[in-house]
Amino acid sequence: AKRRIWISLLLAVILLGAQTGAAYVNGGVNSLDGATSTSTPPLLSRFEPYFDPLTPRNVTALVGKSAYLSCRVRNLGNKTVSWVRHRDIHILTVGAYTYTSDQRFMALHHRDNDEWTLQIKWAQKRDAGIYECQISTQPVRSFFVNLNVVVPTAAILGGPDLHVDKGSTINLTCTIRYSPEPPAYIFWYHHDEVISYDSNRGGVSVITEKGDVTTSYLLIQHAELTDS
């Protein structure tokens, strides 16, 4: 009978490289009704403030990174733009000024464009939810943005234990989800040490497929008892 080796599956550690932005958006989807906003503003709005309907309404940010929520306002004139957190109707910013003791929130605006951005530094799960961009018209005009805050996850398929025959090939698959960008590096560990692909043992290789879900395959040929 062939001897079998029990292998404890360890999670691969993700090392996210230096990522700029740390947030990504789904363009033009209305977070409240799921519809896509592509219609042009009514004729009256051409002379009054209105929101650019193509502005993204769904934003996903990584925990611990900055989230950027934006709204583009055309024909603002002498009106002001405010950001309000919807769950507690808390006014966060008015114009370029911030009205909260939470120093993670900041209003960003450049005079040469129509974009008004709410920055949330070091985003946390509790920051998720609906945020409202308002124009100080009568009545007030609002644009809603849904913020989703996620934590990247790594999971090895078929865990937590796998058994293979001695001398066969070990094939482990790790999937990485909820990363705004594909991870720059993926390290596999065995007994708390990084697996070296150039070790004297030989027969070790890694194949990585990057995308919305990144998949990493660890292949170890000629399985030995020391691979357990």
Give the rounded percent of residues in the chain with a pLDDT score beyond 90.
48
Distance set, CA 178 to CA 22, 34, 61, 155 (Å) = 11, 21, 9, 12
Report the chain's mean pLDDT, rounded to a whole number. Answer: 81
User: pLDDT value at position 17?
Assistant: 36
pLDDT of residue 199: 76
Please give the C-alpha separations between residue 17 and each of 22, 149, 178, 209, 223, in angstroms, as whole numbers: 11, 19, 15, 16, 32
pLDDT band at 75 (very low <50, low <70, confident <90, very high): very high
Per-residue confidence band for 12, with pLDDT thresholds at 50, 70 and 90: very low
pLDDT of 46 reads 62
**Rounded mean pLDDT, 13-23:** 39
What are the φ and ψ backbone dihedral angles of 44, each rounded to 5 degrees?
A: -60, -35
What are the structural domains, with CATH classification, of the chain? Answer: 4-16+153-227 (2.60.40), 23-150 (2.60.40.10)
For residue 21, pLDDT over 50 is answered with no
* Distance (Å, whole) CA 60 – CA 46: 31
Give pLDDT, residue 24: 44
